[in-house]
Amino acid sequence: MLEHADASITLRQWLDVVRRARLGRTPKAVALMLATYADNDGRRVFPSVTRLAVDRRFITPDDQVRPGAA
Structure pTM?
0.57
Mind listing the pLDDT tens digit of every residue in the chain (70 residues)? 445 555 677 888 888 999 999 999 888 888 888 888 887 777 788 888 888 777 777 655 565 555 554 4
| Helix, coil or strand: residue 37 | coil
Q: Which of 35, 31, 42 is nearest to 7 (CA)?
A: 42
pLDDT number for residue 60: 56
pLDDT at residue 20 in the model: 95
Q: Which residues of 17-37 are buried (b: 16+ CB within 10 A; e: fewer)?
A: ebeeeeeeeeeeebbeebeee
pLDDT of 1: 46
pLDDT at residue 70, as a whole number: 46
Distance CA 11, CA 38 (A): 8
